[in-house]
Amino acid sequence: MKVLIPTPLRQYAGKQSSVEVAARTVAEMFSELTSQFPELRKQLFAEDGTLRRFVNVYVNDEDIRYLQLENTPVQEGDTVSIVPSVAGGVAIDNPVAATLSNDEILRYSRHLIMPEVGMVGQQKLKAARVLCIGAGGLGSPLTLYLAAAGVGTLGLVDFDVVDFTNLQRQIIHTVNDVGRPKLDSAAEKLTAINPFVNVRKFETRLTSGNALDIFRDFDIIADGTDNFPTRYLVNDACVVSGKPNVYASIFRFEGQASVFATQDGPCYRCLYPEPPPPGLVPSCAEGGVLGILPGLLGVIQATEVIKLILGSGDSLIGRLLLVDALGMRFRELRLRKNPDCPVCGANPTVHELIDYNQFCGIRGEEAPVRTGVPEIQPEELKARRDHGDNIFILDVREPHEYQICNLGGYLIPLGDLPARMNELDSSREIVAHCRSGVRSAKAVTLLRQAGFSKVKNLAGGILAWSDKIDPSVPKY
């Protein structure tokens, strides 16, 4: 069997352009080849013994990656080609060399005295353009640290205004900022920390229509979003525009982080090809989140961004970091690029940005949740109770939520309902409620299937009750 040696490796193979080898598999061929020419070994294999990532091996016309890798059988008459990859391009190099003023040199001195950063690294940071999606929980520490570290251009995308429930974790905003656009509040703090940073504000919802335009002027995208449609949109737009996606997400006490959509690494869709069904994974607004957790994960994101800019260290490309704050444990999963990935695979089927609300099964976030179960409005419930109607109130929230506030209902958490239906009287009129009306709609469905015909859902839950009937009931 003949092995074709590419031009750069011939100096290690006795200057021959091809070598005859007897072997039954590709692995045997390599071991035979490197025993004849030991110097070839370190050209072809990394220190851990795996084939270097830029070395392609073909048996006749087939890449061994699509056969049986190194176990691919070979036989007399086959031709094995070894071809290092050929790629490059103008890519993300910023041609404008950033120079540092004396004030900046003083400010960054703790960076400059580390050889891993130094003047060259600090200039790279200054030349870098990083876009952060979301100026909330993750975006707060992420942008604060990136600004402090001297990233020259920081873009922010957000359309929200600061409210009181944000302050438990979104540390870039203060009490005085409540009611202000998050972008104005954040930009003010970032400029106060580092006036050398050029903050660019994009006060808009990121959409399939504007994402590529906004991404154009940035080198790295950091995803600090809290919903699936935007997460898939950011991922696909990063793949399409060839920009790395520094990702993190948080829920309750757990978080995850990775770097997606680099040339060789997997993308978010390689990990999660399809979004979960709507409603299965609760958002932070529904399930809660430890206020410190976005601090932990946002700082990990910032670290990954800086490493990508400096080009040093081992990045999270191909690794998913799992953070469990309650157990204080960090684990990691190896991620592989999926050759069949619809976005970044060998034969992608997604070539342009799509409708991500539709993809995630969401009819539009502004639309009220349509549950399709019989409902009662808070005003009607109030009137009927005042009238003395004997209505049974079923609260399907969790006990710790009941402690925050309640309507004096009978508590059976949604998860316990199937086992505890016998506590309910099917002949009575029942109104189920939760915080916002989503969980109680599921309860109504369950109960109706079980034969409870006189059960209704309180539209809008406790939140609507507080808004429309009794403002002394706190909203959470």
Partner 1 sequence: MLRIGKLEWEQLRCHGEETYPYECCGVLLGQIDADGGKQVQTVVRCRNERLDSLRNRYGIDPRELVRIQRDARTQAKDIIGFYHSHPDHPARWSLTDLAEAHWTGCSYVITSVMHGCATETNSFNLAGYDDSKHFEDEDIRVE
Q: Footprint of partner 1 on this chain (CB under 8 A)?
A: 4, 6-8, 11, 17-18, 43, 54-56, 58, 61, 63, 79, 81, 83-93, 95, 239-242, 263, 311, 344
∠ CA 152-156-162, rounded to 5°: 130
Task: Please say which residue, 18 or 371, places its beta carbon nearer to partner 1.
Answer: 18
Paired strand residues for 259: 246, 317
What letter does residue 394 receive in the DSSP assignment?
E
What letter does residue 323 receive in the DSSP assignment?
E
How many C-beta neighbours within 10 Å does residue 303 have?
18
- Residue 268 CB, shortest distance to partner 1, in Å, is 15
Using CA atoms, how far apart are residues 318 and 334, in angstroms rounded to an integer? 6
Q: Residue 474: CB partners within 8 Å, gap ≥ 6?
A: 404, 405, 466
Using CA atoms, how far apart are residues 76 and 54, in angstroms rounded to an integer? 27
Length of the chain, please? 476
Known catalytic residue at 434 = yes
Catalytic pick among 132, 238, 344, 434: 434
Using CA atoms, how far apart are residues 194 and 104, in angstroms rounded to an integer? 10
- Residue 253 CB, shortest distance to partner 1, in Å, is 37
- Residue 200 CB, shortest distance to partner 1, in Å, is 21
- Residue 351 CB, shortest distance to partner 1, in Å, is 8
Give the three-state DSSP class for 429. Answer: strand
Task: Please say which residue, 18 or 208, places its beta carbon nearer to partner 1.
Answer: 18
> Do the bridges between strand 455-458 and strand 429-433 make them parallel or antiparallel, or are there none, so unpaired?
parallel
Question: Which strands make up the sheet holding 455-458, listed edge to edge?
Answer: 375-376, 455-458, 429-433, 391-395, 410-411
Residue that the structure tokens 């932070």 belong to: 284
- Residue 28 CB, shortest distance to partner 1, in Å, is 21
Using CA atoms, how far apart are residues 271 and 7, in angstroms rounded to an integer? 38
Which among 243, 192, 206, 223 has a CA at the least distance from the CA of 298? 223
Structure tokens at 290: 């430890």
Task: Please say which residue, 64 or 300, places its beta carbon nearer to partner 1.
Answer: 64
- Residue 54 CB, shortest distance to partner 1, in Å, is 5
Task: Please say which residue, 17 or 99, places its beta carbon nearer to partner 1.
Answer: 17
Task: Please say which residue, 98 or 469, places its beta carbon nearer to partner 1.
Answer: 98
Catalytic pick among 284, 341, 344, 360: 284
Known catalytic residue at 238 = no
- Residue 42 CB, shortest distance to partner 1, in Å, is 9
> Do the bridges between strand 375-376 and strand 455-458 make them parallel or antiparallel, or are there none, so unpaired?
parallel
Question: Which helix (H) or strand (E) segment is 221 a member of?
Answer: strand 220-223
Task: Please say which residue, 7 or 50, places its beta carbon nearer to partner 1.
Answer: 7
Task: Please say which residue, 277 or 311, places its beta carbon nearer to partner 1.
Answer: 311
- Which residues are tagged catalytic? 284, 434
